[in-house]
Structure 1
Amino acid sequence: MGDRLDVLIVGAGAAGMMCAVEAGQRGRRVLIVDHAQAPGEKIRISGGGRCNFTNLGAGPHAMLGENARFATSALKRFSQRDFIARVDAAGIAWHEKTLGQLFCDGSAKQIIALLTGQMAEAGVQLRLGVGVTEVARQGDGFRVRLSDGSGVEVASLVLATGGKSIPKMGATGWAYETAKAFGLRVTETRPALVPLTFEAGLLEETKALSGLSVDAVVSGGGAKFREGLLFTHRGLSGPSVLQISSYWREGAAITANLAPDADVFEALKAAKQAGGKQEVATALGHIVPKRLADWICQRAGVSGRLGDQKDAALKAVAEAVNAWTVKPVGSEGYRTAEVTLGGIATDQLDQGTMQAKTVPGLFCIGEAVDITGWLGGYNFQWAWSSGWAAGQGC
């Protein structure tokens, strides 16, 4: 059949490479394969090429899934501090941007080099441009045929190919299909951390705002995030919208406070009492960008001087700013989604080792598992932690 090895890891992304390092350092004979031509492609493009490699606040509170607490064990045993220590030891300079998000000062390629260097030192074999064509149980282990025609027999098989997000980089549902073939349950998957889209009528209305960004509090699906909101030619994007997209479902509305530090009604009332000669849109333009102020007044059907407005009109304007409720029709899908929500069900796995409970030797890690983090380095930390956990036992 071919080579006999201890561990085959399919997917040379963040989780897969982390697992390979740990298993290799334990003296295991490890092969890691990826159908891409380079390892860590998602690492390379993340954070605008600087890799938002973890978050100081990483923890199960920032995870979604059927049972987000499943992530607790791995996140505690290999925490953000542990990964930061490795980055520091490699001499990689980094900085905190906002909300605990850590980025490389230089290129994301430094993180890839750290992992590939450690894999090489641990004797891990890395084969690129190679996928898996067939997997079968053989005794206590697995027999695997690779796309280059070769085959391997292994004691442990690690599914680390991620989810369906960013298909142009080769993302597929392979991990889900393989898990199902071994009898594991897979929860419903959907794009997450993704821009939301509007129907044609609303798009026409908001066309004038395309490219405008504001600080906003966006709420929906029981969650609330304060970060930037961006109007696009398809709908809404920006960090606050990407965050809420993980909680939003079709048919539901989201609410955005487009001036979270201002009580717009009180501010307009005060401006009215101070003389009231200003146009409503001009007064509002001191609180939100002028383009947005003009759009809101036009949409609310309020024009003219402040002094001529009844409180009801000012309240309508204020509500359009402080509690703009809108119903997206969909998202931009896996094409632009940063991650996949859902995946291999956590009740099928041991939370300490990431090993399948019913299939000894089969491990599932990273984005392929039904654990999804918030935007801001949380998904990378789950990759490091889950990869580390599996690497201790595979």
Structure 2
Amino acid sequence: MNHYSETIIIGAGAAGLFCAAEIGQHGGEKITVLDSGKKIGRKILMSGGGFCNFTNLDVSPSHYLSQNPHFVKSALARFTQWDFISLVCEYGIAYHEKADGQLFCDNSAQDIVDLLEDRCKKAKVDIQLRQQIDSVEPIENDPKVRFKVRANGVDWTCRNLVIATGGLSMPALGASPLGYKIAEQFAIPIIPPRASLVPFTYLENDKIFTALSGVSLRVNASVGHQVFRGDMLFTHRGLSGPAMLQISNYWQLNEPVHIDLLPDQTIVDLITAQKAHSPNMQLKTALSQVLPKRLVELWIEHQRLTLGDKTLAQISKADLQSLTELIHQWQFHPNGTEGYRTAEVTLGGVDTQFISSKTMQANQVAGLYFIGEVLDVTGWLGGYNFQWAWSSAYACAKAIAESAI
């Protein structure tokens, strides 16, 4: 038996559901969403600690990484963060702002999934779950029926096929390379993917820091000219927290991450000022006032800090230089990252040089579209990847709706 829809979308995540709903707003078209999971929006529900960081107040192309950096401009301009915020308000979803313009649901990420599901229902979108995609084939010489998708042994045909399969991050939620394989089948190259927005792991000689698991502090983390300020968290496997996740996008294997553990003041000024009125204070006491005490104690225990018992009056210029290097110029050499298991998103993906930035359609394959994370577009931590899902989905939906007129 053959099932026909004008548009089939593979993937019931943020981009796929939003695209389906937006196409449906224009009416007339039959839209089917196929997904391998048991329920829709699985990654949405896990995001933002279960509260979904659905966008950011400050969104610009500079917040995105891509081999083709201009690609995001058109879509982001045509459906902005304010457009999605208006939709959130229309549904009466309470939200709040955290640091750096990040917007989260007050109640639960389920509110965003409910919004998308309601809009899909109003648009009469047919959502088919537990659909294992067996194959995708082009159908030649028929502008109304361009593709055949086989799922669970059943054939589905369509005029428009939208790939919203996401990347490889969080495989426990059903991530797979399906979208990349479909692109390659149609001669569209893939920028090699890797885990993105992901914690670092320790080399053997840094495993002493496992004793600090749960300790966090505000740092500057940098690779090359890229610097991020934010919290860093010691874990039993490595370094995590927003600053580490952000800089992971720019890090290359065997490259050090430069970390300033005291970014808001210099240790030289601090010791000099403290020395003036408490010359007999021990250095370890002074350091514990501005850095986590457990970190200072661990440095002393493992002889990474040998000055701890000195008084401030005994600290020399050479000692201050050593402290500067220890605190402001830590060169952390990661063993690697935790990989896709804990990565927020995937860096790399479908080469955007082969995709229209206005419509998300493949340049050489009429009716084939790619949206969301499957593309070589990666946003910073802070709601930017969701905004790319909304914006790219909108651009695709608008193009499909207009092509049906």
- 2:348 is the counterpart of 1:345: no
- Quote the residue 1:316 is aligned against: 322
| The one of 150, 156, 163 aligned to 1:152 | 156
1:360-382 deviation line (CA, Å, top 9, x unaligned): 10000000000000001000000
Partners of 1:144 and 1:170 in 2: how far apart?
Answer: 19
Partners of 2:392 and 2:184 in 1: how far apart?
Answer: 20
| The one of 364, 369, 389 aligned to 2:370 | 364
Q: 1:111 deviation in Å?
A: 0.6
- Does the Cα contact within 8 Å between 1:43 and 1:112 map onto a contact in 2? yes
- Quote the residue 1:172 is aligned against: 176
Give the aligned CA root-mean-square deviation in angstroms: 1.2
Q: Does 248-257 or 306-315 show the bigger shift?
A: 306-315
1:333-352 deviation line (CA, Å, top 9, x unaligned): 00000000000001000000
Partners of 1:275 and 1:55 in 2: how far apart?
Answer: 45
- Does the Cα contact within 8 Å between 1:340 and 1:367 map onto a contact in 2? yes
Partners of 1:260 and 1:373 in 2: how far apart?
Answer: 25
- Quote the residue 2:107 is aligned against: 106
Partners of 2:283 and 2:258 in 1: how far apart?
Answer: 23
- Quote the residue 2:220 is aligned against: 217
Give the length in aligned residue pairs: 392
> Which runs of 5 or more residues in structure 2 are unaligned?
401-405
- Quote the residue 1:82 is aligned against: 83
- 2:393 is the counterpart of 1:387: yes
- Quote the residue 2:267 is aligned against: 264
- Quote the residue 2:308 is aligned against: 303
| Aligned residue runs from structure 1 range 126-145, under 5 A | 126-139=127-140, 140=143, 141-145=146-150
What is the letter of the counterpart of residue 7 of structure 1? T
Partners of 2:30 and 2:278 in 1: how far apart?
Answer: 79
1:296-325 deviation line (CA, Å, top 9, x unaligned): 454132132222221111221232112211
Partners of 2:169 and 2:93 in 1: how far apart?
Answer: 28
Q: 1:292 deviation in Å?
A: 1.9
Partners of 2:272 and 2:378 in 1: how far apart?
Answer: 44
Partners of 2:163 and 2:148 in 1: how far apart?
Answer: 14
TM-score by length of 1: 0.97
Q: Does 224-233 or 272-281 show the bigger shift?
A: 272-281
Partners of 1:156 and 1:21 in 2: how far apart?
Answer: 15
Q: 1:209 deviation in Å?
A: 2.1
Q: Say which SS state the counterpart of residue 114 (structure 1) adopts.
A: helix
Q: 1:131 deviation in Å?
A: 2.3
Q: Say which SS state the counterpart of residue 300 (structure 1) adopts.
A: coil
- Quote the residue 1:199 is aligned against: 203
> Which runs of 5 or more residues in structure 1 are unaligned?
none
TM-score by length of 2: 0.94
- Quote the residue 2:19 is aligned against: 19
Q: 1:208 deviation in Å?
A: 2.8
Partners of 2:97 and 2:273 in 1: how far apart?
Answer: 39
